[in-house]
Amino acid sequence: MYSNAYVWSRVLSYLEQHSPAIAIASYFDDAEVIELTESKLVIYSPSPFRKDVIVKRYIDQIREAMRDQFQTEVEVVVLDETELPQYSKNKKNRNFVEFNSQYTFDKFVVGSSNQHAFSAARAVADNPADAYNPLFIYGESGLGKTHLLYAIANQIQREHPDYNIVYIKGDQFTNELIDAVRSGKNFEFRDKYRNADLFLMDDIQFIAGKDATQEEFFHTFNSLYENKRQIVLTSDRVPGDMVRLEDRLRTRFEWGLIVDVQPPDYETRFIITREKALELGIELPQDVVDYIAENITNNVRQIEGTVKKIKAYHDLTGMPLDITNVSRAIKDMYKGKTQAIPTPDLIISEVCRFYSIDESTLRSTLKNKGTAEARQVAMYLIRKLTNLSLPDIAKEFGKNHTTVLYALKKVEQELPNSSNGLQDNIRDITSNINSRL
């Protein structure tokens, strides 16, 4: 889909070839396109008089221009200044999204590990599509990337209630695209995303390696960017580390500002622990807060889970909130514990998400190329990342152990061949699995 400005310039050029140029200039000099889809062209002409002239004299010519220049049939709607407010209200209300009110800038604990990302997100919320576009936030899971996305959305929704705000996760974008293609709703899919005033995508790394998804997102990105709509993306890695991401997307992600979110330092963990406890209605002694900040170091989500666990113990057993009791309650969450081992279900889930197939299909007897590779990769990763034996792995898929052994050998034979992409696939899936531990 072309940008609104480009389409409108072509339409006006066509009109000037079929009507006096002075007439076109007189009636269209302040007209503009406010919505463009494959089936509709909505034009705003501030003056009711000029709007009436356009409707009476030029509607058919505009349709002819769209047929001639873009080979498409569209409904043409013209609005004047008295009609635009209601139209905008109706259009925006259809796409209203309720974001979690707990995720605001005021409730985001700022420290040295996230100061840059926080400041960039705040600048985007204050001046959408003017400060940094796109804004690309990266970091490990549980460090506050989604909090910043929602904070941007909440502020812009409050200050610009007419904005069309769209939020989506990378893997959901792929799934919606597949559903749209299957059901013949490509137009509706594109209209939803390309008409956003604020576009937010979480975990964009999941579109890497998916050719159709990357093609669609490339055009979505271009449409939004050309029409000066704000784009904010998050990922667990920088664009340069997404080896299966198309170069044309990688370069576009680097057009704006790339900022990272690091694990919180001790001071930030201390403040987060204290604030999370107060939000849950408990006031922890300072030495207990200090103890948690010293021992729970991975991410913000783990700190929040720790505080919730302490509250649950306190509510259920009435235990005193001292270091002895707290340490006993959260001993399994210490930083010194061994690396978590993923479950087979988690591995299978991430493999299915990467290859965009259902778990029931992966566990079935279907043997087409894509499904067979996904199944073999799942078996290989379960063997590599867990302690399960070959017979145990076979049970997960309803197979025998010789099938698993064949899959392992097949993957190991293909891995040295860097041209088939299997190395990159396994690396990306492994990274996704680790981010959920």
Residue positions in the annotated binding site for ATP? Answer: 142, 144-146
Cα 247 from Cα 241, distance rounded (Å) = 12
**Phi and psi for 225 in degrees, rounded to 5?**
-65, -45
109 CB contacts (<8 Å, ≥6 apart)? Answer: 264, 268, 271, 272, 275, 300
For 216-263, give the DSSP string.
Answer: HHHHHHHHHHHTT-EEEEEESS-GGG-TTS-HHHHHHHTSSEEEE-PP
For 287-321, give the DSSP string.
Answer: HHHHHHHHH--S-HHHHHHHHHHHHHHHHHH----
Cα 371 from Cα 373, distance rounded (Å) = 5
| Structure token pair of residue 331 | 């001993």
The SS3 of residue 417 is coil
The crossing angle, in degrees rounded to 10, of helices 145-159 and 115-126 is 20
391, 397, 416 from 377: Cα distances, Å = 17, 13, 14
Partners of 200 in the β-ladder: 167, 232
Binding site, residues?
A: 142, 144-146
**Phi and psi for 375 in degrees, rounded to 5?**
-65, -45
- How far out from the chain centre does Cα 352 lie? 18
Residues in the chain: 437
Based on its alpha-carbon atoms, the radius of gyration of the chain, rounded to whole angstroms, reads 27
